Structures are given as structure tokens and as C-alpha cells.
Amino acid sequence: DSESKKQQRDLLTQAIEFIDGHYPDESVSLDAVAREVNISPNYFSAMFSQEVGQTFVEYLTGKRISEAKRMLRQTEKRSSEIAFAVGYKDPHYFSFVFKKVLGCTPSEYRRGDRQ
């Protein structure tokens, strides 16, 4: 039992490292990560949310939004450029997700209206 827990943790670590290294790629998906660590998408999804405490999509979105926040405050790149840089192919969808997560638009965030 402890051996299977260790294997599960190793798979999860490998999956998170893959996500953290590839989140700017718009093709990163639950299926792609499951394929990378060689387990079924359903099993990966259940294991991920159980162990991490959030769904795969919540984790990936958090990673992308966190990097977008950094770029908004530390670069002069346009919001659309940042959207592409963090893995969104549609800048309007990026703005929608950003506002849904943080309660403000990317430009409001950049101006410092929100922390």
C-alpha cells in the first residue's frame, strides 16, 4: 500500500512538473498530461483532484493567471500578447477568465486597481 502511494506521488510530481513547464502551450490538456505520465485520463483526473485539492483545470488556470499577473505588472506587453504567452489563443477568453478569477480585467489589474 505504501509502495502504491509512493508511485502515485511520483506520478503526480511528474505530472505537475510537466504542467508547470508546459502551461504556456495552449495544447496542454488533461488528456495530454495523462498521456505524458502514462495513465488513463479518468484516473489522472481523480488522483489529481484528490491529492492536490483542486481540479486539473483549476490548477492550470491558476498557473496561467499567476504568470499573467506577473507579466501585467512587470512588462509593457499588451494583454493580448500576455494571453498568448500564458497559453490562451483567444485574448477575449483570457480576459473573461482573468476577470472571473480575480474580479477585475487585466488592464484594471495592471493599473493597480486590484492586488
Query: What pLDDT, in 10s, does the model give residues 19-41?
Result: 999 999 999 999 999 999 999 99
Query: What pLDDT, in 10s, does the model give residues 38-58?
Result: 999 999 999 999 999 999 999
**DSSP 3-state assignment of 22?**
helix
Distance CA 51, CA 76 (A): 37
Alpha helix (H) ranges present in 23-55? 30-36, 41-52
Distance CA 89, CA 27 (A): 10
| Cell numbers representing residue 83 in the block | 494571453
pTM, two decimal places:
0.91
Question: Within 13 Å and on the Cβ side, how many CA atoms surround 49?
Answer: 10
